[in-house]
Structure 1
Amino acid sequence: MKDNQHPDTGSRYARGSAIFAETLGLPADAFTASLANVAPRFARYVMEWEFADMVGESSIDARTREIVAITSLAMLGATAASVLRLRITSTLKAGVSMEEVIDIFIQLGVTAGFPIALAAIHAAQEQFNSVELV
């Protein structure tokens, strides 16, 4: 019987972990360890479903995928702020310029409202400052 409390380290999990690390620039082990005592299955879902299946099997290129991610996360507002900042960095890594990121968020002002756009622009500003220090 499979233990549903611990991540499966099979090939799907390993493939997702590699894509996670490549996309986000973070070790998958650190993410998994951060959830080990609370929600280890969730870490497995992220590696297998989000990264191995959704990202790994997508026909959408990384640049487009990251634009979709930051747009969606910005629309979620404060509940997604920390993940938005992380994905702004991965968006830059995927070849989207800082100017394009800001223009994406300005466009959100029309469809999602100015508070959403402004919050996303501030998140981008924070990330740009940290990226420039590297």
Structure 2
Amino acid sequence: MTNHETHTTESRLQRGIRALAQIDGEAGQKVVDSLADIAPDFATYLLEFPFGDIYSRPGLDLRAREIATIAALAAMGNAAPQLKVHIEAGLNVGLERGEIVEILMQMAVYAGFPAALNGLFAAREVFNHRDGLASAA
């Protein structure tokens, strides 16, 4: 099924739920679940717009979208929780740890050393968490 065909047979919400599961997995669902008691409508917006509309567009594959997202979140310098979710997502869609490290190092040039350092520390947390899960299994 092509992306266009998917758009005509699924609602934005259905498409967003599918994309979130594919990209962010459990980490993304935790974000959605955490909004249930305070802003359930915002969870719907999060599913419909970023995941149902933007991530589901043709033109960039999920690897490229996660490279852009990781770089943007690292450059912002104030989005560590979201950066960790998207580092996980990058790994889920095929980015290698070394590629993520290089993306974050690149941010030193455009966003400064503090942003790059914070991004690298976030990546280390994600990598260590994944290693802990793997060794527990």
Q: Please classify the TM superposition score into its range, dividing by the shorter chain length.
A: 0.7 to 0.9
Whether contact under 8 Å (1:74, 1:117) holds in the other structure is yes
Amino acid paired to 2:113: F
Aligned residue for 1:126? 125
Aligned residue for 2:23? 23
Amino acid paired to 1:128: F
Q: Deviation at 1:28?
A: 6.5
CA 1:58–1:45 in structure 2 vs 1: closer, same or farther (change >3 Å)?
farther
Whether contact under 8 Å (1:20, 1:51) holds in the other structure is yes
Aligned residue for 2:47? 47
Give the total of aligned pairs.
Answer: 124
Amino acid paired to 1:93: N
Q: Does 1:84 align with 2:72?
A: no
Mapped partners of 2:113, 2:32: distance in 1: 35
Whether contact under 8 Å (1:16, 1:47) holds in the other structure is yes
Ranges in structure 2 where 5+ consecutive residues have no aligned partner = 1-9
Amino acid paired to 1:43: A
Cα RMSD for the two superposed structures = 1.8
> How much identity, in percent, do the aligned residues show?
38
Give TM-score scaled by structure 1 length. 0.84
Q: Secondary structure at 2:59's aligned position in 1?
A: coil
Q: Structure 1 stretch 122-131 or stretch 25-34: which is displaced more?
A: 25-34
Mapped partners of 1:30, 1:59: distance in 2: 28
Whether contact under 8 Å (2:66, 2:89) holds in the other structure is yes
Whether contact under 8 Å (1:18, 1:28) holds in the other structure is no
Runs of 4+ in structure 1 deviating by more than 6 angstroms, as ranges, are none
Q: Does 1:58 align with 2:58?
A: yes
Whether contact under 8 Å (2:20, 2:29) holds in the other structure is no
Mapped partners of 1:66, 1:85: distance in 2: 12
CA 1:128–1:26 in structure 2 vs 1: closer, same or farther (change >3 Å)?
same
